[in-house]
A and B are shown apart, each in its own frame.
Chain A
Amino acid sequence: MAKKLKIGMVSPYGWDLPGGVQIHIRDLAEFFLAKGHDVSVLTPAIEDELLPSWVQSSGRPLAIPYNGAVARVSFGPVATLRVRKWISEGDFDLLHLHEPAIPSLSLLACWAAEGPMVGTFHATAPRQKAIFAVGPILEPAIEKLSARIAVSEMARETLTEHLETNAIVIPNGINHNFFSEAKANPDWVGSSIGFVGRFDEPRKGLDVLIRAIPEIIESNPDLRIIVAGPGESEDVLKGVDQSIRNRFVFLGRVSDVDKARLLKSVDLYVAPNIGGESFGIILAEAMAAGTAVAASDLPAFRAVLNNGKAGALFVNEDSQDLARVVKNLLLNKELNRELGKSGYEWSKRYDWSNVAHQIENVYEMVSAAGEKVSLGSDLRGWMRSN
């Protein structure tokens, strides 16, 4: 694209504790910066000094109970003020708002701004009763978005169900090279299964895997399970039979580099998650490392594994089926290699070069008229008086 854009991105969640949404924003912003666009990210953050120059803080996030979980978001008069200031001083060609239906900065920005705006919806959630109460507040804001993106079919369905509006699906992105070029760590090579994530969260399904281990060991006496991610390993091991405890290697929270090396080293990556997944970026990353993947047949995983062609699927929450699939892939080296290869090829579509290009097309479309982002007409007077 010849035209360089000035892009304003908004993150609803605190920058200090990076989750899927923040990492997505960071990678996307870095990609567009590298392409010569001008990007400014507005986000709640605790430490102003540690932020990259292109990230601006709206103040500390507040941890509040929201829909049965704790959300670290930003709201209130100070946040509103900062959002308005950022918009009116930014002179943006377009805004890219992430999770604009979450009560935080993106919603504030959506409310305050006029002009080309793109919204990306990440989460999937079951329909909530409270949506009747908040619909009248959210709908007028969501209406203002010139384009809506959902990161997966599941996220799109959530959006349709909650707010009766549609979106195009553009998947999450990964840095494909980072994983395909990672160096294997000899300690983790050979008869090894990988698992990455908050393993003490029941929905990540480590229990399902643990129940399958005795059967897998029968045909793989040297089996090891390498687990990376934050959590209390002792709590998990308490419920595990003494004889297989030493099969587990807990690495704790690991760096991005070590995560890539882990994915590269293991014979097989297993994702036994039992629900609540919107995308499954870790599967795309494992595939990019060239490692064969086996995952539960959640709709999100089914999609990212190309319906079982790019990675093996087993019946969700069924340890026996998991054991069958995993045994097969550990014993049959030829099959394992083939699956790893087709996963590798399939995962290229998730590389940022491809994903960001699709997003760039959306940007181009919404900003084609040359209109700029400004404060809503009801707020312009406000700017002069402040």
Chain B
Amino acid sequence: MLTLFLLLPVAGALIAIALPAAREGEAKVIALAFTGLNFALAVVMYVVFDRGVEGYQFVERFEWIHGAGFTVQYVVGVDGLSAPLIVLLGLLSMVSVLVSWKIDVKPKHYFAWLLILESAVAGVFLSLDLIQFFLFWELELLPMFFLISQWGSGRRVYSAMKFLIYTLAGSALMLVGFLVIGFGAKTFDIEALTKTPPQETIVPLAIVFWAIMLAFLVKLPVFPLHTWLPDAHTDAPTAVSVMLAGVLLKMGGYGILRIVLPLMPNEAHDFSKVLATIAGFSVVWGAVITLRQTDLKRLVAYSSVSHMGYVLLGVSALGPVGLSGAALQMFTHGCITGLLFVMVGMIYDRTHTREIAKLRGLMHHMPLIGTVFIVAGLASLGLPAMSGFVAELTVFLGSIEAHPAATMAAVFGVVLSAGYILWTVERILHGPKTHDFHDLTDAKQWWEITAMAVLVVAIIGTGIWPAVLTDTVRLGIEPIAKIVEAAS
């Protein structure tokens, strides 16, 4: 089932590419069909997922490279940590196709890359082998690079390049770390490594810890490794921003929870203060800079830096509640920021500008877009009854004892987020009617309505009924928390 999830988008991409030039406009239909099917598959998986047992489910495996003393295998599986992320991936991939409905430059290549991207990210979330994880991690760069550099805007080549090199630099270190661990323990199997974490390695584990951690911190991203993110977002097409903020950043947090903590719990304890400090600082730094942004996309991008700081804060607390908070925050940030980027894209499509100073009074002309923008904004500032609140609160509850100062900084970030969100709403949506925008239309197309609706439902649904997430997340966090707590 999981292999099917992994391969369906590839199949879709192949079909799209095979379309004759005259019918390349149909690529979007194929993309929607395949991402829709994949989303349905993810939901089925999530429903069938057995919440009575810990450990991986739907595991599929075969040996791939059988070397002397080690094996590289293909093995996929989900647990409570990855299952919500798979649903999120399915959801946002479908949304990405919907918001790309009007792409007419080389559409079959565009949608093919988008589908490949879904497969690559799915591979990261599903892989239970370090080498396989690494391969998918690298594979994701390819579609991202082409999507940004070919279908982007502004300094797209610069931004795509920056994204590529930054991630590559991080993943080079990660691969080194993986190899050290793998050869030391004679296996790359994550499940096996989790059961018996490596004790003796040829390089001190502290160095391995940071080698791997750095790659994940770049991806997350946190201060001071974040500057690739605003550039990549600003110049990427809407759908790519949605995928980037919605699921790609989660690869960083996921990697920390799945690989770093269970494999190197002692080092995690040694450096937890450092991580918490980075996290608290990142939250405030990101939020303060967000306040100063003049471009809507950069604004949302910097708010992501701030919000992903919560993930790291939850991780650094090293307790079950904090770790759960981190996992929840990943899911919720994916939905919320995904929706914010969708809304910014819709505004840009109509007004052809993302400059806040040029936008005003949009609520009069596009009440639906305005309303959904406000909903997304309120969710982003952590309003209760929406998914962000429970996630942030869980992080704070988990981290207050271990890192009181960083937690206070992070809670202050909540105040700042109210500032930048509501100030933005005031500037672009409120105010008198202006003549500049009188001929603009509200969101009326079915693909726009669907893209907004599914995300709003996800945000409010999980906000009002968090158990739909928490019961699953708890299963995934429990074994990790046990390992980490045993090491303290």
Q: Are the chains A and B members of one assembly?
A: no
Q: A residues bordering B, Cβ < 8 Å?
A: none
Q: B residues bordering A, Cβ < 8 Å?
A: none
